[in-house]
Chain A
């Protein structure tokens, strides 16, 4: 589904599912028309969870499960950006910087749905530098945006930070597709660093490290598949099995 189609699907589902959201959106649209877009957007965006938060969730095909409030925020943001296409990045950055953590989470989650998604990468990268584990998780997990728009270097650093934050990288959308030799190299270096420090290695690191493992990585995988605690062994063995399956498929 294209980005405009996604936002449209969300809007249609939202308006159908929630009379409160329908009324809220009408009021928000009216407010947006009255003044400076940046200020008005922040003014309607900020209280959305308080105003709509109690009213349940939606399941939208190909998009996922959204609270009414988060969906309303996404729709109003998409519409506001549609009115000011040349200033979309600036407007979104302004909104992000003015937002508290909960609003930042909703904003980051909505990025892949927005019609101007491609233009917002600097904002996504800025959000990726956050100190908030929750905001970072909203970008890195269950979110197609990085896999779709990030360069290899950007994607690799996202995955590495997710590992550092003990986030389950199985939920990084597109990890298998976008895994690469440089990511494997970074993970292998990390395994070495942790082992030299006498510290444990995240069990799911093989999801990122195995697909393009170097000889060094293959040796690590074999070691972890053979020994170490159960969760480690399981992930390593699964990764080895996937590698064997891939090799078989190519022969």
Chain B
């Protein structure tokens, strides 16, 4: 069974994670641009971070047989420093033009301020101009109202809802998105937010259409194997292999394939060659390189 994790912050994960993910059947990931735990204070650090997403991190993933794609945006948690946010908006287009950048994201609300709304709306517009899909982060606090307002903004913008993935949904917010044409993303965490068991209940209740599952694993307590674990939970609950593959592989790829920069064919064709270097750097520290023929 092949898996795809469409929302995972690999910059904060180790090579052990990559190795375990590959062993568990994950063949591709999308890493969205987000904050790093404390606010950035200059546009240069955003530029360097975006460059990492399309550069070093993509290479690091490939060394373990995983295809790495990313989304680029000014995230809601850093949208309130308006002068800095404007500088970031100005550098986004040059990253959105790159290969492997499959959407504008993560965008959305954090505390539902005016500044957040401004840059949320501007980035939906940016996505339309670049003909890219949009990844929306729904806030963790005042989530229901934040989701309602996000969907309202999507409607107002006129963007095709097929191009919009609304993420971090739960029992109270999924029904809101089901009334729209947007895709439905769920982040599976240990302890908090959504679990595999609750996810399985949602899939049983609402079906698998446009349903997407991810680990959103990052620098906090999280688990980069939540996608295969959700697969196991689905299997235990009686879902067919084809349904599991639909939710945990085909759906996320189909969504992001609308960017024209990822396809079902590409996945599974990364051959590991750990002799390769990226800007003269290797992931190895004295080990013998793995080379797949």
By a beta-carbon cutoff of 8 Å, the part of chain A in contact with chain B is 97, 125-126, 129-131, 153, 157, 160-161, 164, 185-186, 189-190, 192-193, 196-198
Contacts and interface: CB of A to CB of B under 8 A. Distances in A.
Choose among A126, A130, A189 the residue with the greatest number of B CB atoms under 10 Å from its CB. A189
A197 B110 CA distance: 21
A164 B172 contact: no
A27 B110 CA distance: 43
Given A131-B38, A192-B172, A197-B170, A160 B80 contact: no
A125 B170 CA distance: 28
B128 interface: no
Contacts, number: 49
A129 B77 contact: yes
Contact of B145 (A126, A130, A161, A189): A189
Contacts of A157: 111-112, 141-142
Given A157-B141, A193-B143, A193-B171, 5 more contacts: A164-B140, A186-B142, A190-B142, A192-B172, A198-B198
Contacts of B142: 157, 160, 186, 189-190
Interface in B72-114: 77, 80-81, 110-113
Contacts of B144: 189, 192-193
Interface of B: 37-39, 41, 77, 80-81, 110-113, 140-145, 170-172, 194, 198
Given A125-B80, A196-B171, A97 B41 contact: yes
Given A186-B145, A193-B172, A126 B38 contact: no
Choose among B81, B171, B194 the residue with the greatest number of A CB atoms under 10 Å from its CB. B171
Contact of B80 (A97, A129, A189): A129
A186 B172 CA distance: 13
A160 B39 contact: no
A97 B38 CA distance: 10
Interface of A is mostly: helix
Nearest to B191: A199
Contacts of A189: 142-145, 172
A6 B41 CA distance: 32
A197 B143 CA distance: 13
Contacts of B170: 193, 196-197
B151 to A, nearest CB: 15
Contacts of A130: 38
9 contacts: A126-B81, A153-B113, A157-B111, A157-B112, A164-B141, A185-B145, A189-B144, A190-B141, A198-B198
Contacts of A196: 170-172
Contacts of B145: 185-186, 189
B112 A161 contact: no
Choose among B38, B41, B111, B143 the residue with the greatest number of A CB atoms under 10 Å from its CB. B111
A153 B77 CA distance: 17
A153 B140 CA distance: 16
Contacts of B37: 131
A197 B41 contact: no
Contacts of A129: 39, 77, 80, 110-111
A164 B110 CA distance: 14
A197 B171 contact: yes
Contacts of A153: 112-113
B209 to A, nearest CB: 21
Contacts of B113: 153
Contacts of B38: 130-131
B105 to A, nearest CB: 20
